[in-house]
């Protein structure tokens, strides 16, 4: 849910506003690509943090 809210409010709306204001309305479609890519990067950062903190210690190596 954090990722979804961050995607909408943190990435999509500001990038849509900036692209629409400075480049034009046709560039608004690029805001979706920017938001999806940014939320993917944020998801990978969160996953890596959780993996290193919790999951890595549960894995038993032989």
Q: For the segment 7-61, what is each residue's pLDDT rounded down to a tens digit?
A: 999 999 999 999 999 999 888 999 999 999 999 999 999 999 999 988 878 876 6
d(CA 17, CA 19): 6
Cβ–Cβ < 8 Å for 14, 32: no
List the beta strands (DSSP E) in 1-62. none
Which among 56, 50, 4, 7 has a CA at the least distance from the CA of 32?
A: 7
pLDDT on residue 48: 94
3-state SS assignment for residue 59? coil
């Amino acid at each position: 849910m954090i990722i979804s809210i961050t995607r909408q409010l943190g990435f999509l709306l500001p990038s849509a506003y900036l692209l629409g204001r400075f480049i034009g309305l046709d560039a608004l479609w690029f805001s979706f690509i920017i938001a999806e890519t940014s939320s993917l990067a944020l998801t990978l950062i969160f996953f890596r943090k959780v993996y290193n903190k919790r999951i890595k210690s549960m894995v038993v190596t032989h």
